[in-house]
Structure 1
Amino acid sequence: MDAMTPTPLKEHQWLQRMVGAWEIETECVMAPGEPPVTTKSIEQVKPIGDLWVLGEGEGETPCNAHAVSRITLGFDPQKNRFVGTFIASLMPNLWLYDGTLDANGRVLTLDSEGPSFAGDGTLAKYQDIVEWVSDDHRIMKSQVLGADGTWNHFMTANYRRKK
């Protein structure tokens, strides 16, 4: 790959599947033992050339606040890893993504680090796991690594392509 005229790799082409308009239904577990809270939002994913995608999201949060978000995703051939960022209007931190695609090309696991749910100023490890069900349906599950070393699921978002 020439640095001045890069050729898109299969990983870049994989990301282009996300391009389009999406309706999202999200279930969040706000506290252990409580029923999940369901919210609805939308996302418009645009290509940035052939190498990157930009997702622009907007909708309600489980706390009944309106939020706007942006996600960038690409593939870094030198690292052989998916990379990206996430920001949201209600969060003061920038989330940096570093991820891998499974051997079947269906599941992208994005690792990140951010403020712990404990609210004590410590950082925690997080994962956003994107799984393609079909070309018009993807699921993202979010989990946080607990102090005991186990992953704790707290959110599932179903993305369905707008017709």
Structure 2
Amino acid sequence: MQMDAQDEHRWLLQLVGEWRYESEAVMGPDEPLMKFQGEETVRALGDLWVLLEGRGEMPDGDMANMLMTLGYDPQKGRFCGSWVGSMMTYLWVYDGSLDKDRRILSLDAEGPDFAVEGKMGKYRDVIELHGTDHRTLKSHTLGDDGQWHCFMTANYWRK
């Protein structure tokens, strides 16, 4: 069964290439802002998927590898994907959508609460395009106040 690429699949192909990133994160209440950097290779898997393979330092100085998959499910009318990292055992599953201007992809997921062991939390990763050679990724968690709180921002520049 061969699926034809949709405009949403072509949107994802804009991410293909070699990137470097600088990131900053707050890892918990009353924790200082931590900065780290790394590189990412984004490649297409046919015309329907992109694989984002990152490698870089963690806020604690250890090295990590990450893999994000992104695609689009025309039957659901939603973006889909996953994220795994060498620093944790959880498989994050994404469900997302583009904004009306087609610059911002919001990806929702559920995963382990970073503050309370054994509790699950709601998260949102937001990829925003700032032209062809710059993008950001902001990671948010849904707080008890019902608001999304950004805990990590990464700026990516095409090499």
> Does TM, normalized by the shorter one, top 0.5?
yes
Aligned with residue 98 of structure 1, among 95, 100, 105: 95
Report the aligned-residue RMSD: 1.0
Q: Does 1:125 align with 2:122?
A: yes
Deviations 1:27-60 (A, max 9, x none): 1012334442110110000100000000111000
Gap regions ≥5 residues in structure 2: none
Look up the SS of the partner of 1:73 in the other structure: strand
Q: Give me the whole-angstrom Cα distance separating, in 2, the residues matched to 1:43 and 1:57.
A: 4
Gap regions ≥5 residues in structure 1: none
Q: One-letter code of the match for 1:78?
A: Q
For residues 79-118 of structure 1, the aligned pairs below 5 Å read 79-118=76-115
Aligned residue pairs: how many? 159
For residues 1-163 of structure 1, the aligned pairs below 5 Å read 4-162=1-159
- Native 8 Å contact 2:140 2:151 kept in 1: yes
- Native 8 Å contact 2:28 2:115 kept in 1: no
Q: One-letter code of the match for 1:106?
A: R
Look up the SS of the partner of 1:134 in the other structure: coil
TM-score by length of 1: 0.94
Q: Give me the whole-angstrom Cα distance separating, in 1, the residues matched to 2:115 and 2:91.
A: 18
TM-score by length of 2: 0.97
